[in-house]
Amino acid sequence: MVDEVQASFDARATAYDANRRSLIPHFDEFYRIGVEALAYCDQSPRVLDLGGGTGLSTSFLLGRYPDARVTLLDFSNEMLAVARERFKDNPNIDFRVRDYRSFPFDERFDLVISGLSIHHLTADEKRELAVRVFGLLEPNGEFFNADLVSCEDERLEQEMHRQLQGFLRQGLSEDEVQRFVSSQRLDRPAPLESQLSHLRSAGFKVVECLYRHLIYGVFYAQK
């Protein structure tokens, strides 16, 4: 599965950002709400972007923290190539081509962020990652994850996807809609409560869902 996910992102890297707004309802709110909820006050936080890809999440973060020192980590070199071009004039971005599940971090961060990446992990991997993120953060450090969320009830899950496809057809061709639907076979989204539970079990003192619409959700936690 990992190789298949990596190959999928490698193949889509240069075109990845082009139709994001047609895939994600309330695109700006989805990416911005986690950034705006952060309590960190210094203008140059140490930030880890997990599965940072083309740098979309980091670009929103830099809107609030322009002097942030960001480690942008992804296992797709093709995706990071897009990010390198996006941030070519920013010396504070460190690009690392690695799998964040096994990367041997030797530093701590004020903030950890992630956008549309963690849903590719298994349930056990999600649980383990929550513990790992907790350990990587400084005291009072913060984490937000803008990602996919599923429904525990199958009827409601199907209804969320039906409504999403209605939105997709407003901006995409039918072929594009079907390609997106096909790509979802690589996704492993988890229900809202299980994602919040992983964060609580990891030890975070504040855990909240900041946003949810159809299959998209944003989760926040503070150490």
Q: Does residue 205 come out as left (phi exceeding 0), alpha (psi in the -120 to 50 range) or beta? A: alpha
What amino acid occupies position 93?
I
Is it the case that residue 12 has pLDDT exceeding 70? no
Tell me the residue ranges of DSSP E strands in the chain: 46-50, 69-74, 93-97, 109-115, 137-150, 190-191, 206-213, 216-222
pLDDT for 3 equals: 56
Confidence of residue 17 (pLDDT cuts 50, 70, 90): confident
Least confident range of 16-25, 167-176, 208-217: 16-25
pLDDT per residue over 144-174, tens digit each? 999 999 999 999 999 999 999 999 999 999 9
Mean pLDDT of the 51-76 span: 97
Side-chain half-sphere CA neighbours of 103 within 13 A: 20
Let me know: does 217 contact 209? Beta carbons within 8 Å: yes
User: Higher confidence at residue 106 or residue 144?
Assistant: 144
Q: What's the whole-model pTM score?
A: 0.93
Give the percent of the chain with pLDDT over 90. 88
Is it the case that residue 1 has pLDDT exceeding 70? no
Average pLDDT, whole number, for the chain? 93
Cα–Cα distance measured from residue 70 to residue 111, given in angstroms and rounded to the nearest whole number: 9
User: Higher confidence at residue 7 or residue 196?
Assistant: 196
What domains lie within the chain, and their CATH numbers?
Answer: 2-222 (3.40.50.150)
Confidence of residue 18 (pLDDT cuts 50, 70, 90): confident
Is it the case that residue 10 has pLDDT exceeding 50? no
Confidence of residue 19 (pLDDT cuts 50, 70, 90): confident
User: Higher confidence at residue 8 or residue 218?
Assistant: 218
